[in-house]
Structure 1
Amino acid sequence: MRKPLLAIAAAAALVTSGAGAALAVGPDDRVGVSGTDLKTDEIGRSANVKHLANIAPSGVLAQGVGTDLAFQDDKAFVGNYDGFSIIDIRNPKKPKTIVQVSCPGSQNDISVSGDLLYLSTDSSRSDDSCASTSQSATIKESWEGIKIFDISDVKNPKYIKSVETACGSHTHTLVPGKGKNNKTDYLYVSSYSPRDTFPDCKTPHDLISIVKVDTKNPTSAAVIATPNLFPDGGNPGGPGPTPIASRSATTGCHDITALPHKDLAAGACMGDGIIMDIEDPEKPRVIERVRDDENFAFWHSATFNADASKVIFTDELGGGGAATCNAAIGPNRGANAIYDISKYGRLDFKSYYKIDRHQGPTENCVAHNGSIIPVAGRDLMVQSWYQGGVSIWDFTDSENPEELGYFERGPLPEGAGTGGTWSTYYYNGHMYSSDIARGFDVLKWVDPSTKKIDKQVMDELNVQSQPKYKVR
């Protein structure tokens, strides 16, 4: 039984004013040095990547885990296992924290839409408030799902609504309703790992949850559909491609990326990769499905190129906590897979891409979140690899991808555990990175090909809802 939204006083998040300021970035970066040649927390980068600023973890989020990013006008919104922060990026060399909001709940995947901010909770909590504590999912009254905040006053975000979803919300994808006067947001909620002992997350779980939000009346938000994407049960799983992890059975999706202007979405669904027709956003329909039982362990995320002629799927081998960027694992596992998309929506595998900068045995490293860089005539992407850092790469030739630039830190101090960059996205001329342990970084890729697009100004970006980019 869903626990009702608590009274505003009880549900209110702890909001604090800006607690972090940009640190001066020194001249001691090791240009051309990477991987195992870097010492603890040393910075290595290619000559064409500049490290402009860093905001270290602080305040109520100091002990949390940095997660995903969204953007609106001159602000970055940064998820954290303990809540989220809003950062002023008007001057990318001197970003400033506007506010921090304490609202614990893994992973706090984040998106923004006008005056609304959406936050995913994928850890079983005692209730739906921002003062909740961990509580077993075997208890019926436990809560997890979507939280909605009013950010019309960015200095004072207000928690206004919760929506419980089956198995919580590991990630969510914003799919805007149609029409010039659209007043509807749809959230495609991805969740997985059901158990028969969980009252609100029982097997089978071959579905996603769709939350419909009236943006003029967001407190009426509710789950309006739970479409079954895998009527046959999906990939049954099995022995893994490496000893690190077994091949995942499909019990839901991990992440979905929508391409609204093409009425398409790509789903990374544990053991399967799918393409969906989302012409009717309330009734998504799977039109293509692929598997890679030889090399993929866990289908994690997806990214279209600008004209939807290609899609990149990532394999999060080891769940993000393992050291997979080494010779033993090789170049095809824990990697990206590049697929061409035919005019009929069929997927044709072309090649793998993985950073060849080998990392040390304590450095968790695997393909993770990134976004395209919309340069005319080319397919470029910037991407996070946890402690493998940031990679800028070219997949114009689908069969021969290549790295163009990088930024990374040396290993965390001994015993510090998991770290590295969770997400890195291109937005209005710069690249912004959310590092699990080291905070918020601003990077600049200096390349002649970006001169035109660097001058473009977007007013909002949720990477998992890819816009119709103006490629130049």
Structure 2
Amino acid sequence: MATEPPRPDYSRNMRLIGHSDQGGRPDGVQLMVHRGYAYVGHMVSQGFSIVDVRDPKNPQAVGYVPAPPGTWNVHLQAHDDLLLVINARDLFADARFADEKAYYTRSVGDTVRDVQDCGWCAGLRVFDIATPDKPREISFLSLNGIGIHRIWYVGGRWAYVSALIDGFTDYIFLTIDLADPRKPEVAGRWWLPGMNEAAGEQPSWPEGKRYALHHAIIAGDTAYGSWRDGGLTLLDVKDRTRPTLISHRNWSPPFGGGTHTALPLPDRDLLVVLDEAVLDNQEDGEKHIWLFDIREPSNPISIATFPQPDEADYVAKGAHFGPHNLHENRPGSFVSSTLIFATWQNAGVRAYDISNPYRPVETGALVPAAPARMMDTRPGRPQVIQSCDVFVDAQGIIYSTDYNGGLSVIEYLG
């Protein structure tokens, strides 16, 4: 029998229809909804959970796969019979990252350079999910270093990851050959100049900035990469073993950086680019979701910003206020080049109509209730909703995770 989901703090053109604490592990980062099951990577619980959402009003936790000790499984990707899960050092379990600024305002490689490769797994773990609620591991691609942060995989031979491997200051772009999913191999790599310390490169960016690939989304033979304070790159990946630069744009400074997701809309020659808010109370400045015109890939031009939530004083609410993530139009999910979904952390989940690309309009919002309990073990974290990832299934049902507050299942009424 379905239990009543917690009453949202605010809603407009959206309705909360279901909620799950993910089997007592309500900390969630990335999620994939695939064949009626949600796969949720955890920030604190060191593993991933499986939630049966075939009845979205009554989600049921049906499985949990623990990570190796000391290992993060924050991000994952599902397509056909494969589930790809990142393995990386659990950085938030390290006391040096208790203050978020240590993670977001300097190269991770600098903070952890004294740590030897032991006590965690770094690489890519591949599972067979032909039986959706019983993932079966079929391979592990081991990497030297801290490990992988995020993946892009939508079937076929190639996966694309951000990885912090030995010799680099932070996460770079790797292409992974999955011709045989039981034997994944690194095929190509690309980084911003200054990141390859092992080759003698010197960082060119200012103190207090972090140049690191969050991840890239691939459309055709172009990879659209988000490099946190390093901005946006368009890479030609026609030859997956030798990515080459098409263009690089960076607006930090004057803006605050944190570029997180670049979502191409190829049928309209548009690119939605989101800058993540990474510090409490907007200490890192106002962050935006930008709309770029990419008719000329060598010269992407910003033409608009999305409106900011303003029905409450979200800066004063505490924790992070600002964009975090976009629904990424994956094959098999809800795909639109005019309706865009984003998470805004303490301002919940938002929908936008970009029919007129010069005037994006907010068409719906839902701010979940504060988490019932805190899973985030870092000292002093406020008990405030931080809507993290968003996934919209082919039926238009919205799923959103939170670092502490569980899985929200939302109906869009716009």
What TM-score range do you get, normalising by the shorter chain?
Answer: 0.7 to 0.9
* Per-residue Cα deviation, 1:23-70 (whole angstroms, up to 9, x for no partner): 3237xx4xxxxxxxxxxxx53101x211110012434x35xx301111
Question: Following TM superposition, by how much is the alpha carbon of 1:343 offset from its aligned partner in structure 2, in angstroms?
Answer: 4.3
Output the CA distance in 2 between the equivalents of 1:204 and 1:436. Answer: 27
Partner residue, 2:406: 439
Shift of the 405–329 alpha-carbon distance from structure 1 to 2, 3 Å rule, reads farther
Question: Following TM superposition, by how much is the alpha carbon of 1:285 offset from its aligned partner in structure 2, in angstroms?
Answer: 2.2
Task: Give the conservation status (yes or no) of the 8 Å contact 2:33–2:391.
Answer: no
2:254 paired with 1:302: no
Output the CA distance in 2 between the equivalents of 1:53 and 1:276. Answer: 40
- Aligned pairs for 1:21-36 (under 5 A) are 23-25=3-5, 29=7
* Per-residue Cα deviation, 1:70-117 (whole angstroms, up to 9, x for no partner): 132222211113211222222222222221222263252010132221
Question: Following TM superposition, by how much is the alpha carbon of 1:170 offset from its aligned partner in structure 2, in angstroms?
Answer: 1.0
Partner residue, 2:57: 93
2:160 paired with 1:188: yes
SS at match of 1:323: helix
Shift of the 355–89 alpha-carbon distance from structure 1 to 2, 3 Å rule, reads same
Task: Give the conservation status (yes or no) of the 8 Å contact 1:433–1:440.
Answer: yes
- Aligned pairs for 1:383-462 (under 5 A) are 383-411=342-370, 417=382, 419-429=385-395, 430-447=397-414
Partner residue, 1:150: 128
Output the CA distance in 1 between the equivalents of 2:29 and 2:2. Answer: 18
For 1:147, the aligned partner's letter is R
Output the CA distance in 2 between the equivalents of 1:221 and 1:375. Answer: 29
SS at match of 1:355: coil
Shift of the 295–396 alpha-carbon distance from structure 1 to 2, 3 Å rule, reads farther
Task: Give the conservation status (yes or no) of the 8 Å contact 2:327–2:341.
Answer: yes
Q: How many residues align?
A: 366
Task: Give the conservation status (yes or no) of the 8 Å contact 1:340–1:347.
Answer: yes
Question: Following TM superposition, by how much is the alpha carbon of 1:308 offset from its aligned partner in structure 2, in angstroms?
Answer: 4.9
Output the CA distance in 2 between the equivalents of 1:236 and 1:365. Answer: 29
Output the CA distance in 2 between the equivalents of 1:306 and 1:425. Answer: 20
* Per-residue Cα deviation, 1:199-244 (whole angstroms, up to 9, x for no partner): x533455842222223xx43312223333454797983337xxxxx
- Aligned pairs for 1:320-359 (under 5 A) are 321-324=279-282, 333-353=286-306, 354-357=308-311, 358-359=313-314
User: Unaligned stretches of 5+ in structure 1?
Assistant: 1-20, 30-41, 126-134, 178-183, 193-199, 240-245, 448-472
User: Unaligned stretches of 5+ in structure 2?
Assistant: 92-111, 196-200, 375-379
Shift of the 389–410 alpha-carbon distance from structure 1 to 2, 3 Å rule, reads same
RMSD (Å) for aligned C-alpha atoms: 3.1
Question: Following TM superposition, by how much is the alpha carbon of 1:158 offset from its aligned partner in structure 2, in angstroms?
Answer: 2.3
Task: Give the conservation status (yes or no) of the 8 Å contact 2:369–2:385.
Answer: no
**Higher Cα radius of gyration:** 1
Partner residue, 2:206: 238
Shift of the 234–412 alpha-carbon distance from structure 1 to 2, 3 Å rule, reads farther
2:170 paired with 1:202: no
Partner residue, 1:469: none
Output the CA distance in 2 between the equivalents of 1:206 and 1:120. Answer: 13
Shift of the 345–426 alpha-carbon distance from structure 1 to 2, 3 Å rule, reads farther
Question: Following TM superposition, by how much is the alpha carbon of 1:423 offset from its aligned partner in structure 2, in angstroms?
Answer: 0.8
Output the CA distance in 2 between the equivalents of 1:392 and 1:141. Answer: 43
SS at match of 1:168: strand
Partner residue, 1:171: 150
TM-score relative to the length of structure 2? 0.78
Output the CA distance in 2 between the equivalents of 1:313 and 1:364. Answer: 19
Identical aligned residues as a percent: 20
SS at match of 1:224: strand
SS at match of 1:51: strand
Question: Following TM superposition, by how much is the alpha carbon of 1:344 offset from its aligned partner in structure 2, in angstroms?
Answer: 4.4
Task: Give the conservation status (yes or no) of the 8 Å contact 1:175–1:281.
Answer: no
Question: Following TM superposition, by how much is the alpha carbon of 1:309 offset from its aligned partner in structure 2, in angstroms?
Answer: 1.2
For 1:443, the aligned partner's letter is I
Q: Does 276-285 or 413-422 show the bigger shift?
A: 413-422
Partner residue, 2:184: 221
Question: Following TM superposition, by how much is the alpha carbon of 1:22 offset from its aligned partner in structure 2, in angstroms?
Answer: 5.2
Output the CA distance in 2 between the equivalents of 1:226 and 1:401. Answer: 35
Task: Give the conservation status (yes or no) of the 8 Å contact 1:390–1:421.
Answer: yes
- Aligned pairs for 1:272-311 (under 5 A) are 272-292=231-251, 293-305=253-265, 307-311=267-271
Task: Give the conservation status (yes or no) of the 8 Å contact 2:194–2:203.
Answer: no
